Amino acid sequence: MKIYDLLVPSERRDFSKDLLEALSYSCVNFAILYWPIVAIHSNEFQTDHLIIYYFLSILILLVAPIFWPILVYKFMKTGFFRRRLVDPILKPWDRLFGQRKAYWVIIHLKDGRKIGGKYAKRSFSSTYPAEEQIYIEEVWEIDQTSGRFIQPLTNSDGLIISKDNFHLIEFFH
């Protein structure tokens, strides 16, 4: 559950209330890996292949539960499942910024001004359920009428802006 929460932005879990769900996922892991579990717990296997027994036990108990949510997430991103299931990512904000692409952006402030900048690998955006905030690593002077990027601001290490201050972001390649 924790691995899936790292992949898909969601409300913070109260694990004390999710005990039944965690138990259910453990049962699914057990059901999927039933035959390997039975095979390694035979007396001959435990005595003849002790190192492999411990390795497979760790794989079944620790690695597989980490692997399943990644696999489910990958399947949900395929076209077949995307057409048939509800998207687990709740906000377009998270979908767009989750792609980790670089953009030139123009942010339209609520007071009518525009801020231009470069959103690239050092930039960052918040994820659900946090309030939408964006850090732009390069701030550029832009022409307020045409929206053209003129030049980067000197001595600027970027800009953090909150959703309370803007109403629109334009993205350019």
Please report the domains of the chain, with CATH numbers, ordered by start residue.
2-84 (no CATH), 92-172 (2.30.30.100)
- Torsion angle of alpha carbons 42, 43, 46, 47, nearest 10°? -150
Is the pLDDT reported for residue 86 higher than 70?
yes
Record the tokens describing residue 131, joined without a space: 């309030």
pLDDT at 117: 95
Is the pLDDT reported for residue 89 higher than 80?
no
Sheet bearing 138-142, strands edge to edge: 149-152, 138-142, 114-119, 103-109, 166-172
Model confidence over 19-53: pLDDT tens digits?
Answer: 888 888 888 888 998 888 888 887 777 777 878 88
Q: Is the pTM of this model over 0.75?
A: no
Task: For 15-122, list the strands marked E by DSSP.
Answer: 103-109, 114-119
> Which of 41-55, 83-97, 103-117 tops mean pLDDT?
103-117
pLDDT at 6: 66
